[in-house]
Amino acid sequence: MESIIRRFIAQARAHNPSARSIVLQPVVGGPNHNTCPIRSAPEQGVVRASYNHPHIHAAIQRLIGGNVTMGYDSTVRTCADYNDLEGQLVPSASHPIGQTIGDYYRIS
């Protein structure tokens, strides 16, 4: 995971050499940073976003510094906020989470 993020940072710097900062935004994680089971049969396992979130979060934490920062660390309220095995959000969750992330980045 960390090597993928390092490559992204290098590409971002190469394509935007005058950028003052690079913000790495983790995926929306499970409630309290826990994993969520897949709700629909016949798939079994966990929602990928909830599984990947802590790994992405940890990798970003190891790479922050200089002009690289971590974005807003968002999580769902409940596992029912995930719509599918990938981690797409149900409409009732996507708007409030999107609003919260937008508010975090809003320039006053």
Residues 59-82 pLDDT 10s: 999 999 989 999 999 999 999 999
Residue environment code for 67-77, b if the CB has 16+ CB neighbours within 10 A, otherwise e: ebeeeebbbbe
DSSP string, 53-101: HHHHHHHHHHH-BTTEEE----B-SSGGGB-SSS-PBPHHHHHHHHHHH
Q: What is the pLDDT of residues 37-53, one digit of tens each?
A: 986 666 678 999 999 99
For range 16-24, the mean pLDDT: 91
